[in-house]
């Protein structure tokens, strides 16, 4: 049996988050878009009202359940909630306390002790480096074991919420010569000597959320703060498994980021359709294509593209909830939603002409915000490469 409708509990989540978005998030959108790097204190109240759980919102929540049961659990709840919140404002959602991407890694692969200690923190993810973007296997930041401590050295850039977070999940290599197998992730508490926020970036979109560059200079952390095993595999199969474990975090976080994109795209579509309706242009679903005007036909096309992206996101989340490998589907939904989000928001700006381009409405902001959702957590090109590898059953060395 296939049921493409949301369960009641998730419909309730969507209704609640969209109501909060309309009345408590979107009214502050323009203010914090203009006041970049100003902390939006109003979002603390929103976070309290929705009881934001870091692991649940960003994916990767561990749940006790019957292994044979079919469920719509934490991952499905996460993408539905994110859709509703980012229908309001994706930048302000990212600025909410406790919504860090690093929490997904801690929850997904951390030990019970690590989850207990850091699962409730505000954790950012530190991956990208000046010389390393989409190729995560090319990490240069080093981690050297010295007694009972790891010593980290390197520079990370484009860290979402890197300034406001109180915990960092840092990707580093134990031995650059051993490639992927030596890449591990480490938990670093903000304020640790040798860990310093170097600067905050000025951005085109999501201005309410800070994006930081962070330096590590002889930064010492406890030995137990490594996520996963310390061992570096010597054989090819072991290297694949080791790096695959690190990369598994993305299978949890890509559907939520895709949900941010479809939430932002839905916001643009709803606003554009409202503005066009005021001018007498309304979408009549079910009408023959020959009877549609150019603008109506464009709206129909965008609605179809949006629905396809939405269903891909729900499928990837459902697979995660039911412990099915979803790496291909996670990349598919991220690629589709990222591309659709960019296309829809820009087309809505164009269709609404001066109102779309001006700051009198939020359409131009939705368009600016949407671009990052096609970039972070893996660019469009990287997602397509991952999908191709999965479909063709090729390794990264076979298909680059």
Of 177, 208, 233, the one marking the end of a domain is: 233
Say yes or no to pLDDT of 337 above 70: yes
By mean pLDDT, which of 117-131, 313-327, 384-398 is the weakest?
384-398
What's the pTM?
A: 0.89
- Answer yes or no: do 256 and 371 share one domain: yes
- Answer yes or no: do 147 and 85 share one domain: no
Model confidence pLDDT, tens digit, residues 2-23: 677 888 999 999 999 999 999 9
What average pLDDT score do residues 136-156 get? 93
Percentage, residues of the chain above pLDDT 70? 89
CATH number at residue 225: 2.40.110.10
What pLDDT is attached to residue 73? 80
What pLDDT is attached to residue 395? 77
Residue 6: DSSP 8-state: P
- Answer yes or no: do 333 and 384 share one domain: yes
What pLDDT is attached to residue 168? 97
Does 113 map to a domain? no
3-state secondary structure of 43: helix
Which of 159-163, 244-248, 391-395 shows the highest mean pLDDT? 159-163
User: Minimal CA–CA distance to 252: which of 48, 59, 398, 39?
Assistant: 59
Say yes or no to pLDDT of 246 above 50: yes
Which residues constitute the domain of residue 313? 243-392
- Answer yes or no: do 70 and 168 share one domain: no
- Answer yes or no: do 65 and 131 share one domain: no
- Answer yes or no: do 153 and 192 share one domain: yes
CATH number at residue 35: 1.10.540
Band of residue 53 on the pLDDT scale cut at 50, 70, 90: very low
> Does 143 or 182 have the greater pLDDT score?
143
What pLDDT is attached to residue 55? 44
Does 155 map to a domain? yes
- Answer yes or no: do 250 and 349 share one domain: yes
Of 204, 233, 262, the one marking the end of a domain is: 233
What average pLDDT score do residues 320-329 get? 90
Does 1 map to a domain? no
What average pLDDT score do residues 65-88 get? 83
What's the CA gap between 124 and 400, in Å, rounded?
29
Of 175, 207, 233, the one marking the end of a domain is: 233
Does 398 map to a domain? no
What's the CA gap between 229 and 243, in Å, rounded?
11
Does 238 map to a domain? no
- Answer yes or no: do 138 and 90 share one domain: no
Does 170 map to a domain? yes
- Answer yes or no: do 136 and 68 share one domain: no
- Answer yes or no: do 272 and 375 share one domain: yes
CATH number at residue 292: 1.20.140.10
Does 339 map to a domain? yes
Residues forming beta bridges with residue 143, ordered by sequence position: 152
What's the CA gap between 143 and 378, in Å, rounded?
24
- Answer yes or no: do 207 and 129 share one domain: yes
What average pLDDT score do residues 262-289 get? 90
Q: How many residues appear in the chain?
A: 400
Mean pLDDT rounded to a whole number for the chain: 88
Overall domain count for the chain: 3
DSSP element (H, E) containing 158: strand 149-160
> Does 32 or 4 have the greater pLDDT score?
32
Model confidence pLDDT, tens digit, residues 160-190: 999 999 999 999 999 988 888 889 999 999 9
Model confidence pLDDT, tens digit, residues 288-306: 777 788 999 999 999 999 9
The sign of the CA dihedral 185, 96, 31, 29 is positive
What's the CA gap between 333 and 356, in Å, rounded?
27
Any idea which residues carry the catalytic annotation? Answer: 377
What average pLDDT score do residues 346-358 get? 96
Does 2 map to a domain? no
Which of 30-39, 135-144, 242-251 shows the highest mean pLDDT? 30-39
DSSP labels, 93-127:
HHHSTT--THHHHHHHH--HHHHHHHTTS-EEEE-
- Answer yes or no: do 57 and 186 share one domain: no
Q: How far is CA 194 from CA 125, 146, 200, in A?
A: 17, 15, 18
């Amino acid at each position: 049996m296939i049921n493409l409708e949301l369960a009641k509990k998730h419909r309730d989540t969507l209704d609640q988050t969209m109501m909060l978005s309309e009345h408590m998030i979107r009214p502050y959108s323009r203010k914090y878009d203009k006041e970049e790097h100003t902390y939006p204190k109003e979002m603390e109240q929103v976070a309290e009202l929705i009881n934001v759980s870091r692991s649940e919102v960003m994916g990767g929540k561990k749940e006790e359940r019957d292994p044979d049961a079919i469920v719509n659990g934490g991952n499905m709840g996460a993408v539905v909630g994110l859709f509703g919140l980012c229908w309001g404002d994706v930048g302000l959602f990212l600025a909410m306390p406790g919504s860090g991407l690093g929490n997904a890694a801690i929850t997904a692969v951390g030990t019970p002790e690590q989850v207990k200690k850091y699962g409730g923190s505000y954790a950012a993810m530190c991956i990208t480096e000046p010389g390393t973007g989409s190729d995560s296997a090319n990490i240069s930041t080093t981690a050297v074991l010295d007694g009972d401590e790891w010593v980290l050295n390197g520079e990370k850039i484009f860290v979402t919420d890197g300034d406001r977070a109180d915990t960092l999940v840092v990707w580093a290599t134990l031995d650059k010569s051993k490639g992927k197998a030596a890449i591990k992730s480490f938990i670093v508490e903000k304020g640790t000597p040798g860990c310093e926020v170097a600067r905050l970036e000025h951005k085109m979109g999501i201005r309410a959320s800070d994006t930081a560059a962070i330096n590590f200079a002889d930064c010492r952390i406890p030995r137990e703060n490594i996520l996963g095993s310390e061992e570096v595999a010597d054989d090819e199969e072991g290297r694949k498994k080791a790096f695959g474990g690190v990369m598994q975090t993305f299978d949890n976080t890509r559907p939520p980021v895709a949900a941010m994109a479809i939430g932002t795209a839905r916001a643009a579509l709803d606003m554009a359709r409202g503005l066009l309706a005021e001018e007498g242009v309304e979408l009549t679903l079910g009408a023959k294509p020959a009877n549609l005007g150019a603008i109506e036909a464009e709206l129909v096309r965008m609605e179809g593209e949006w629905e396809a992206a939405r269903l891909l996101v729900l499928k990837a989340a459902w697979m995660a909830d039911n412990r099915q490998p979803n790496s291909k589907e996670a990349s598919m939904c991220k690629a589709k939603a990222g591309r659709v989000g960019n296309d829809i928001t820009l087309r809505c700006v164009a269709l609404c002409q001066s109102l779309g381009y001006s700051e009198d409405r939020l359409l131009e902001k939705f368009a600016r915000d949407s671009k990052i959702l096609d970039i972070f957590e893996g660019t469009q090109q990287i997602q397509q490469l991952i999908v191709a590898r999965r479909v063709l059953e090729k390794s990264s060395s076979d298909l680059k």
